[in-house]
Amino acid sequence: MPTDDTAAPGRVYITTPLYYVNAEPHLGSAYTIIICDMMARYYRQRGYDTFFLTGTDEHGDKIAQAAEAAGEEPQQYADRISAAFRDTWEQSGLTYDRFIRTTDADHVRTVREVLTRVHAAGDIYFGSYGGHYCTGCERFYTEKELTGGTCPDHRTVPEWIEEENYFFKMGKYQERLLAEIESRPDMIRPERYRNEVLAMLREPLEDLCISRPKSRLTWGIELPFDENFVTYVWFDALINYVTAVKELGEERFEALWPTANHFIAKDILKPHAIFWPTMLMAAGLPSYQHLNVHGYWTVDGAKMSKSLGNVVRPLDMRDRYGMDSFRYMLLRESVFGLDADFREEALITRVNADLANNVGNLVSRTLSMQQKYFQGEVQPRLDTRPEDAALEQAFADAARAVDVHIAGLMPSRALEAIWRAADHANKYIVETAPFTLAKDPASRPRVGTILHNLVEVLRAIAQLTLPFIPESADRIAAMLNLPDDGLRLPSAPWGDAFAAGHRVEKPTTLFPRIET
Ligand code: ME8
C-alpha cells in the first residue's frame, strides 16, 4: 500500500469510515474495519509505524431524528450507540489505535479551526439555496441526480428545502482536483471508482452547502463565525481523519498524514473523493495517499435490512464460528472493490475445507508426529533433498505473493497463495510418508528432518496468516513455543528458528469442524 513516491517509507495511517450511530454494527461495518485491521496488522508485523483509526459519526439530521424516534436526547442516544460500536469492536479483537467520536472535544475544536481558516481565506460565503434534500444521505440532490424524482440510494422522495446557508467554494477547486486525480492513477482505487469520480468531475461541480440553520437543526458543531448555524455533518465528520493525527503532535502529523489510506464502501465515494480533497486544498493540507473503495455486501442475495430481519451481527458470528472464521470468510470470499454475497453455508464450507481440514490437519498431524516420534523435540535438519527445497520454495513464493496482493489490495488472492503452499505441505507429508519411515530405525534421522521442515511450515503459516486470522496464528506460535516476537518480519530464515533441543507442544484443535 504505501508504495508510491508520496509515502514516507515505513509508515501508514489507516482509517475506516466513522459509522453513523443510527444503526448497530453489522456485517458491512465489520467488513471495512476487518480489512483495515488486517492491513494494520500486516504493516505492524513488518515494523511499520502504523496508526489505525475508527469511530462514530454522531451529528446531523439523521441522528437527531433517530434519537427522537428512540425517545432520547441526541447526546444520550449517541453515547449509547457509540458504546455499542466500541464494545463490539473490542470484543472482536480489533487493533485500532483510537476510537474517535465526532462529539469529542478535540474534534469539535479541529472542525472549528478548519472552518475559521477556510472562511478567512475567502472560500466560504453566505447565500440562499433550494434543493432536494435526502435525510438518509444527508445531502442535497440536483434534479438531474434523482431517479424518477426519488433518491437513487434510498428510493424515497426527498424534501424540497429552500433556505439561507453558508457555502464552501468547492467548484473553485474542480480543475485542481481533476488534475491531481489524473496525475495520480492510484489515488482512488480500484480503477472503476477512479473512473466514476473522473466522470463526476467532467460535470460542473457545484459549491457545497456546509451549514444548517439552528431553526431547523441544533445537533451539530456551531459555526465559529455565525452562532445561528451548525456545521453540515459531512464537513464535520470528514475532518476527523485530520483531528486524530493532529492530536499526536506536529511531528507525527507531518509524518503520518501523507500516508493516509482511507477505506470506505462505494456508497460514500463522492464525499471522500470530491468533498474531502477539495476541503483539504482549501485548508492548505495535502491530499490523502489512497482512497480504497470496496463493494457492498448482500445477505443471501438480499440487501441487509432490519425490516427483512437478515442483519448479520459480527458478535453472533464470533459466538457461532469464532472471529477468525468470520474474518477468513469475508476476506476470502470477496474481491476488493466488487459486491459480494454473504451466506452462512458458504462460511461453513470454507471453514471446514480450508481451516479445519487443510491447515488444522496440517498443524495437528505435524505436532502429533513430533510428539510421537521425538517427544516434541525438534531434530536437526541433516540434508536438503529436492522435495525439501521445493517445500521451502512454495512458502517463499507464497510470502512474495502475499506482499504483491496486499499492495494490490487483493486479500483473497493473498489467502489463495498461502493455501496453495499449505496444500503443497500436505502433499509433502503424503509423499515423504514420515509415518511409514518411522517404522524403520535407520530412517529416524530422515524423519527428524522431515518434521523439522514441517514445523518450519507451521511457523511460515502462522507468519503469513497473522494479519488475516490473528488468534489462530498466535495459537500456532504458542504451540511451536516461539518467542513473543516470533511472528515479526523479517525473521529467522527457514531452518534457523528451531535450535537443537527446542520443544514444541502437543496439538490442540485449532478449528473444530462445523457440523450442520
Ligand atoms: O456513511 N456492505 O456512515 P455509515 C459493505 N457516517 N460495507 C458496508 C455495508 C454493506 N452492506 N453497509 C455499510 C457513513 N458498510 C458516514 C461516514 S466518514 C467521515 C462518514 C460500511 O454508518 C462501508 O464502509 O452509513 C460504508 O462506506 C460505511 O459502512 C457506511 O457507514
pLDDT in tens, 312-363: 999 999 999 999 999 999 999 999 999 999 999 999 999 999 999 999 999 9
Distances (CA, A) of 406 to 30, 42, 192: 19, 9, 18
Q: Where are the alpha helices (DSSP H) in 223-290?
A: 233-237, 240-246, 250-256, 269-270, 276-283
User: How many whole angstroms from 406 Cα to the centroid of ligand 1?
Assistant: 22
- Does residue 5 have a pLDDT over 50? no
Atom 12 in ligand 1: residue holding the nearest Cα: 28
Beta carbon of 398 within 6 Å of any ligand 1 atom? no
Nearest ligand 1 atom to alpha carbon 265: 27
Mean pLDDT of 122-134: 93
For a ligand 1 pocket test, name from 268, 280, 310 the mutation site with the most ligand atoms within 8 angstroms of its C-beta.
Answer: 268
| Nearest Cα to Cα of residue 294 among 330, 327, 343, 346 | 330
Ligand 1: residue whose CA is nearest its atom 18: 17
From the list 221, 377, 202, 349, the residue with the least C-alpha distance to 274 is 202
Query: Is the same domain home to 249 and 371?
Result: no
Q: How far apart are CA 335 and CA 434, in angstroms?
A: 39
Q: Are residues 88 and 197 in the same domain?
A: yes
CA separation, residue 467 to residues 15, 36, 42, 320, 402 (Å): 16, 10, 5, 21, 11
The answer to whether residue 212 sits within a structural domain is yes
Establish if 70 belongs to a structural domain: yes
Task: Answer yes or no: is pLDDT of 107 > 70.
Answer: yes
The answer to whether position 490 is within a domain reads: no
Instruction: Measure 291 CA to ligand 1 centroid, in angstroms.
Output: 14
**What are the pLDDT digits (tens) for 474-485?**
999 999 999 999
The finding on whether 344 has its CB within 6 A of some atom of ligand 1 is no
Q: What is the mean pLDDT of residues 369-397?
A: 98
Same-domain check for residues 120 and 249 = yes
Determine the Cα–Cα distance for residues 105 and 377; give it in Å rounded to an integer: 56
Residues 290-311 have a mean pLDDT of 95
Beta-strand pair 222-223/139-141: unpaired
Determine if ligand 1 sits within 6 Å of the CB of residue 265.
yes
CATH code, domain with 444: 1.10.730.10
Same domain, 267 and 378: no
Q: Give the residue-averaged pLDDT of 164-193.
A: 98
What is the model's pTM? Answer: 0.95
pLDDT at 489 over 50: yes
Does the structure show a pLDDT above 60 at 435?
A: yes
What amino acid is encoded at 269 in this protein? Answer: L
Shared domain for 258 and 367, answered yes or no, is no
Average pLDDT value over all residues in the chain: 96
- Among residues 255, 270, 294, the one where a domain terminates is 294
- pLDDT in the model for residue 154: 87
Query: Residue 204: inside a domain, yes or no?
Result: yes
Q: In b/e form, how buried is each residue of 25-60, taking b as 16+ CB within 10 angstroms?
A: bbbbbbbbbbbbbbbbbbbbbeebebbbbbbbbbbb
Clarify whether residues 187 and 272 are in a common domain.
Answer: yes
CB atoms within 10 A of CB 219: 24
Quick one: average pLDDT of 50-73?
97
| Gyration radius (Cα) of the chain, Å | 26
Domain that holds residue 362: 345-479
The Å distance, Cα 510 to ligand 1 centre, comes to 32
**Cα 426 to the chain's mean position, in Å?**
31
Which CATH number do you get for residue 15? 3.40.50.620
Task: Give yes or no: residues 219 and 106 share one domain.
Answer: yes
Q: What is the pLDDT of residue 1?
A: 54
The answer to whether residues 201 and 349 belong to one domain is no
Q: In terms of domains, do 27 and 100 share one?
A: yes
Could you tell me the pLDDT band of residue 6, with boundaries at 50, 70 and 90? very low
Query: Does 281 share its domain with 369?
Result: no
Q: Is residue 196 part of a domain?
A: yes
Residue 7 reports pLDDT greater than 50: no
Could you tell me the distance, in angstroms and rounded to a whole number, from the CA of residue 473 to the centre of ligand 1?
29
pLDDT computed for residue 337 by the predictor: 98
**Residue 398: inside a domain, yes or no?**
yes
**Sign of the C-alpha dihedral, residues 140, 70, 110, 198?**
negative
In a domain, 485, yes or no: no
CA of 222 to the centre of ligand 1 (A): 25
The tally of domains found in the chain comes to 2
Collapsing DSSP to helix, strand or coil, 257 comes out as helix
String of DSSP letters for 46-88: TT-EEEEEEEEE--SHHHHHHHHHTTS-HHHHHHHHHHHHHHH
Q: Give, for ligand 1, the residue of 32, 63, 99, 153 to mutate: max count of ligand atoms closer than 8 Å to Cβ.
A: 32
User: Average pLDDT for residues 132-158, to the nearest whole number?
Assistant: 88
Asked if 283 and 413 sit in the same domain, the reply is: no
Whole-angstrom Cα distance, residue 184 to residue 197? 13
The per-residue pLDDT for 306 is: 86
CA 38, CA 31: separation in Å to the nearest integer? 10
Report residue 219's pLDDT band, with 50, 70 and 90 as the boundaries.
very high
356 and 287 in a common domain: no
Q: What is the pLDDT of residue 461?
A: 98
The per-residue pLDDT for range 278-300, each reduced to its tens digit, is 999 999 999 999 999 999 999 99
In a domain, 161, yes or no: yes
